[in-house]
Structure formats: C-alpha cells, structure tokens
Structure 1
Amino acid sequence: MKIELVHGDITEIHVDAIVNAANTSLLGGGGVDGAIHKKGGKEILEECITIRNAQGGCKPGEAVITNAGLLPANFVIHTVGSVWNGGNNNETELLKNCYLNTLNLAVQKEIKTIAFPNISTGIYGFPKPLASKIAINTVKNFEMKNLIDTVIFVCYDYENFELYKENLH
C-alpha cells in the first residue's frame, strides 16, 4: 500500500472512495462533512437518510458507505470521529476505529484508492498532533493493507499538512 499526502480539498480528489468526517445523524454538517454534501449533491443525503432510517445513524468509530453523487469518486465512506473530552473517554480508541472500520469497509467493497480527511480535528477538537499519529499508525499497521493500493491523507489546512508530513517521514 502506498501512502500519499496532499494539501488540498478532498472533494476534488479522484479516488475510488473519499472519507467523510460525518456526524452521528449522517445528515451533513459543517467542515468537510458540509463540503462533501454540498458538492456531492442530494444523492448522498438521500442514501444517508436511508441508512439512518434503517439503523438510526452512525455511532462514533463506525463507518457506512454511500455513492459519491457528483464528486469525482465512486463512493463516500462516512465515519464519525470522536469528540475530544480531555482524553479520558476512549477518544483515541474511537478515532482509531474510524480508520480501521473505514479500511475494512473499503476492503469489503474492493476499493483500491481511498482519501482521508483529518478526522475529528475540526469542531470535535481532537489534538491535531495526536490525531495525525493515530491516523498514520492505524493505516500503516492495517492487517489487510495489501488489498488497498493507495491511501491519500488530504489536509485542508496547512497545520495538519505539516504534522502529517513530519509524522510520515
């Protein structure tokens, strides 16, 4: 598995699947979630509503998949990150599960290229240095990494980009 780093907008990345840092309702929100829903169109929201009606949303650490609507990807994998509460409420394990469950879903769907945003580092307040280490280590240590060709970490902000660059090398 090849790991790449990009400073840019995840909604413009051409891959099999992009990952959405969703909220538990799956109905869109701010940050990357809002951008994906806005640019991807109503088709994504309609599938999210169907998933929500079937299972009641998505819990932190879990992942679900929809089509990518108008985005230049085939799928969107929605995962709900953990809200930072000082580090004593299982936040690191939940964030790790976001990456693991997303990668497992990618393998199930035979997705070969996948792009991740910086999950939980926006409004959820997860410390960016710790989040980047969890993301990179979880991806690098993924047991079935031979079944995925490329993982791209897409950093919208410069601070995350520099942290990922430092932690990848």
Structure 2
Amino acid sequence: MRIEAVVGDITTEKVDAIVNAANSTLLGGGGVDGAIHRAAGPRLLEACQRLRAAELPDGLPVGRAVATPGFDLPASWVIHTVGPNRHAGQDDPALLRACLDASLTLAVQLGCVGVALPAVSAGVYGWPIAQVAEIAVARARAVEDRSRTEPEAAGRLELIRFVLSSQTNHEVFARELDRTEA
C-alpha cells in the first residue's frame, strides 16, 4: 500500500473516491465541500438531498461517512464525512479518528483501489494542521498495517493520498509520513 501527500486540487484527483470534508447538512458549503459540489455538478446536491430525505433527516453526524456517486468528477465516488469543529467545542481527537476511519472503511467497502482525502477539520474547523496530520496519517497507517496481516481488511485499496491545499500543509503531512514510515 502507498500512502502519500501532495499539494493539489482534490476535485481533479483520478482515484476511485475522494473524501469530502462536508458539513452535517450535506448540502454544500465553503472550502473543500463547496469546491467538490461545484465540480461534481448539480446531481451531487440532488443525491445529498435524497440522502437527507431518506436516511439522514437530521444531517450526517460527526464521525460518520456516507457515499454518493462522483457525477462530473474524475472520481467515481464522493465519501462525505463531517469532521469535528474545534470552535464548537468538538476537540476530542476520537471524533477526528472516527471520521477518518469511517471514510477509509467506506472506501474499502466500495472496492476502491485509490482514495484521496483532504485535511479534514483543519482550516475553518480550527484543528491545528500538525494534529490533523498526526491523526490522519496514523489512521492510514492502521489500514496499511491491517493490509499486511489481514489482506481482506483492506480490500483492493492500494493508495491513500492526502491532497493538501498549500505547500505548508503538505510539508506538515510529509514530515508525519516520514516520521511514521515503517
């Protein structure tokens, strides 16, 4: 399994699934969420509205993940997860671990070979990038470790790529990847 960090635009990633750092409404927003909705086109909003009507009338809780088709994106799937908002008092690292674990588990269940993730909860949700990198890389390494001992647990997943919006964030993730390399 390959785990890497790049600077880029997650909406252009040619992987099976991209992870959307969504808000609980699933109806679009700013940052990564808004960019994904714009790039995927109006059918993504319609799919999210159907999810809200059928399964998630109160919205997607922090720490969970759901998938929709990618529509106009290069990725076949969008995995929506709601990271914890530190400004709203959601500062328990277990919440961030849960949303990353749920996203990676869903990628395996969908049969993904490659998945791209942003720095969930960094930025507007107030988590320090170093803490996000530490937790995100640890969760990816856990999948990597399981793939060695229980190949079926990782399914077909061969690539976990963190797509960061700045060189500074990339450097933090790259240091964490180097520090934890097996």
Q: TM-score, normalised by structure 2?
A: 0.88
Deviation at 1:106, TM superposition (A): 1.2
* Whole-angstrom distance in 2 between the partners of 1:108 and 1:11: 21
Deviation at 1:105, TM superposition (A): 0.9
User: Partner of 2:166 in structure 1?
Assistant: 157
* Whole-angstrom distance in 2 between the partners of 1:85 and 1:41: 30
Structure 1 segment 41-56 matched on structure 2, within 5 A: 41-54=41-54, 55-56=56-57
Pairing 1:102–2:103 present: yes
User: Partner of 1:27 in structure 2?
Assistant: 27
Report SS of the residue matched to 2:116. Answer: strand
Bigger fraction of residues in helix:
2
Structure 1 segment 36-115 matched on structure 2, within 5 A: 36-54=36-54, 55-56=56-57, 57-85=59-87, 89=90, 91-115=92-116
* Whole-angstrom distance in 1 between the partners of 2:155 and 2:45: 32
Larger deviation: 47-56 or 32-41? 47-56
Larger deviation: 49-58 or 61-70? 49-58
Percent of residue pairs identical: 42
Q: Which 4+ residue blocks in structure 1 deviate beyond 6 angstroms? A: none
> Gaps (5+ residues) in structure 1?
none
Deviation at 1:146, TM superposition (A): 5.8
User: Partner of 2:176 in structure 1?
Assistant: 167
Q: CA RMSD in A?
A: 1.5
Report SS of the residue matched to 1:123. Answer: helix
User: Partner of 2:138 in structure 1?
Assistant: 137
* Whole-angstrom distance in 1 between the partners of 2:155 and 2:123: 31
- Which protein shows a greater Rg? 2
Contact (CA 8 Å) 1:62, 1:79: kept in 2 or not? yes
* Whole-angstrom distance in 2 between the partners of 1:89 and 1:41: 31
